[in-house]
Structure 1
Amino acid sequence: MNRSIFSELFNKAFRSGNPLFLFMGINILVFLAINFFALGEYLFGRQTSGADWLIRQVSVPAYYADLPLKFWTILTYMFAHRDFFHLLFNMLWMYWMGQIFMDFLNKRQFIFIYFSGGLLGALLYVLAYSTIPVFENNALNSILLGSSASVMAIVVSTATLVPDFTIRLMLFGTVRLKYLALAYFVLDIIGMGGANPGGSIAHIGGAIMGFIFIKQLQNGNDLSKILTKRSKLKVVKRTGTTTTKNNLTDQDAIDSILDKISQTGYESLSKIEKEQLFKASKK
């Protein structure tokens, strides 16, 4: 039975085609790999210097001169955690917000916001530790790891898209996403003066990316289209009447919906228009 459970989880993460479960699976596997490596060192009476070295190879260095030498870390850090509760809370937030995100938008857009949010978070982190005096003194010994910036981008983009969508939270009851994201953002602003300022700075970068992405999308500019392969132009011989009338009609309808969003906002759409936009985003 245990084998069946693990097989089901593996298939859901790596064979379902859903990037939400794929990224969660990668985060969990990397966490297990790092911590089993550290456990092995401990059990054989060795110091965990190997595990610490491994962490530094996948984490973003705060010192800007080290970043070109470890350029791959701006991607790998988004999937690396050492602390269990760091992983747990990130995965819970990504699951909750990612489910809502995927109900309204598509896989390509989820992949884009995860990576772009993490990227901007890392760049803002390095910039802060290179220019703000209070952080410069710790730049040589500081690193950034975890999917928090990417998750923050998902949280804020979802809250910006459907601000009045409500979820139930323990102790707080029903909360609208816009208030939840705002509280999360304010806590990160305050957190810049706390024990983990680098993490808070990265969160802010992710939040900015999430907000910009949705605002651009509502204005008819889908930034995630950079992930789409451009097809080569083909010369087609015209024979008789055209057969693309329905496609043109559907595209005109989508364009009209996007225009309405840019003028009066997403909430002004009717239920039918939201369903039509949702179906179009899945194509």
Structure 2
Amino acid sequence: MAQNDLLQKYKMSSVLIKLIVINVIVFFVFYLGSFILRINEADMKSWFALPLQTWDFLYKPWTFFSYAFLHSGFWHIFFNMLILYWFGNIVLNLFKERTLLTLYLLGGVAGGVLTVLAFNLFPAFDGFTVGNLQGASAAVFAVMVFIATYTPNAEMRVFMFNIKLWQIAAFFVLKDLIAMPASDNAGGLMAHMGGAIFGYTYAKQLAKGNNIGAGFERFMDALVAYFSPRKKRPFKKVHRNPKGNVRSSTTSSASSKDEQQKKIDAILDKIGKSGYESLSKAEKDFLFKYRE
């Protein structure tokens, strides 16, 4: 019974909680698996971590996604999941869950692609040790930089101080850029930059009305629909008006949808200029209902 309750709670949780739970489960599977089976953890992860050697990744294309769910230690996963939780909740206050999932998955891919290119094309990386890439940091950077770019003046409480989101994101990005030349984790830091670039680009394009993740979202929707059990189409009730014309009770007014979209656009513009906290309670409630 308890197991069924946990499963039900997981199904009802947000995509943010699901991502965190999946990361934690994967971490313990490899950690405990290597201990129980007496197998080196790096060897167990070899089919899921992203290889940085020339052309090796062509034999394991799935690793561009899977590496973003692996972590090398407790503090690695702890800080990644903590930052993901902080900034992911802000994203979910303004956007639908599929936006957060797209940011996480494609942010991870962007970080992996940039790192592979850097280690195989840029002479500056010739002296660095080449290994496998693992960690959700690139995906987390994509989420953080995205929301910091879209709502730069929104604030987060950090150690009794209110700090703007753009300042937090700028600190992390600049810190990694400065540390990269002398770091023994140059690959991981480069992946952070790939995720940050994707998050920044996504936010800027979305502000212009261009959703660069729309194609990926449609692909995910189709994938979910394919593996979901098929449901019978609901019976559409019709009514006959006094003149004898048949009309559908499910027909919605296009004008009301236009008005709703205008209201959403106005709220998002206000957030972009003054931050999320500038919204009234009614505006926040409206956004929450729209996201649901």
Give TM-score, length-normalised by structure 1: 0.81
Spell out, residue by residue over 1:31-68, the C-alpha distance to the aligned partner (whole angstroms, 9 max, x if none). 101111222245xxxxx43x221122111111231011
Task: Tell me the equivalent position of 1:72.
Answer: 62
Aligned partner (choices 105, 122, 141) of residue 132 of structure 1 = 122
Task: Tell me the equivalent position of 2:169.
Answer: 181
Equivalent position amino acid for 2:131 in 1: S
The unaligned stretches of length 5 or more in structure 1 are: 43-47, 232-238
- Deviation, 1:96, is 1.0
Tell me the SS of whatever aligns to 1:168: strand
Equivalent position amino acid for 1:187 in 2: K
Does residue 23 of structure 2 align to residue 27 of structure 1? yes
Give TM-score, length-normalised by structure 2: 0.78
- Deviation, 1:138, is 4.2
Task: Tell me the equivalent position of 1:45.
Answer: none
Equivalent position amino acid for 1:84 in 2: F
Asked whether the 8 Å contact 1:113–1:154 carries over to 2, the reply is yes
- Deviation, 1:280, is 3.1
The 2-side partners of 1:186 and 1:55 are apart by 30
- Deviation, 1:257, is 4.8
Does residue 276 of structure 2 align to residue 266 of structure 1? no
Aligned length: 265
The 1-side partners of 2:247 and 2:268 are apart by 35
Q: How does 1:41-60 map to 2 (within 5 A)?
A: 41-42=37-38, 48-49=39-40, 51-60=41-50
The 2-side partners of 1:198 and 1:242 are apart by 58
Aligned partner (choices 90, 94, 107) of residue 100 of structure 1 = 90
Equivalent position amino acid for 1:21 in 2: I
The 2-side partners of 1:263 and 1:176 are apart by 17
- Deviation, 1:181, is 0.6
Equivalent position amino acid for 2:121 in 1: T
Does residue 290 of structure 2 align to residue 280 of structure 1? yes
Aligned partner (choices 142, 145, 148) of residue 156 of structure 1 = 145
Q: How does 1:106-255 map to 2 (within 5 A)?
A: 106-138=96-128, 141-170=130-159, 173-193=161-181, 194-226=183-215, 227-228=217-218, 229=221, 239=245, 247-255=253-261
- Deviation, 1:263, is 7.9
- Percent same amino acid among aligned pairs? 29
Tell me the SS of whatever aligns to 2:156: strand
Rate the CA distance shift 1:73–1:102 in 2: closer, same or farther, 3 A.
same
The unaligned stretches of length 5 or more in structure 2 are: 226-244
Backbone CA RMSD of aligned residues: 3.2
Asked whether the 8 Å contact 1:166–1:175 carries over to 2, the reply is yes
Asked whether the 8 Å contact 2:104–2:142 carries over to 1, the reply is yes
Rate the CA distance shift 1:166–1:262 in 2: closer, same or farther, 3 A.
closer
The 2-side partners of 1:254 and 1:192 are apart by 46
The 1-side partners of 2:103 and 2:148 are apart by 13
Task: Tell me the equivalent position of 1:236.
Answer: none
Asked whether the 8 Å contact 1:219–1:262 carries over to 2, the reply is no
Equivalent position amino acid for 2:255 in 1: T
Equivalent position amino acid for 2:22 in 1: I
Tell me the SS of whatever aligns to 1:174: strand
- Deviation, 1:247, is 3.6
Rate the CA distance shift 1:37–1:128 in 2: closer, same or farther, 3 A.
same
Asked whether the 8 Å contact 2:50–2:64 carries over to 1, the reply is yes
The 2-side partners of 1:242 and 1:108 are apart by 30
Rate the CA distance shift 1:256–1:15 in 2: closer, same or farther, 3 A.
closer
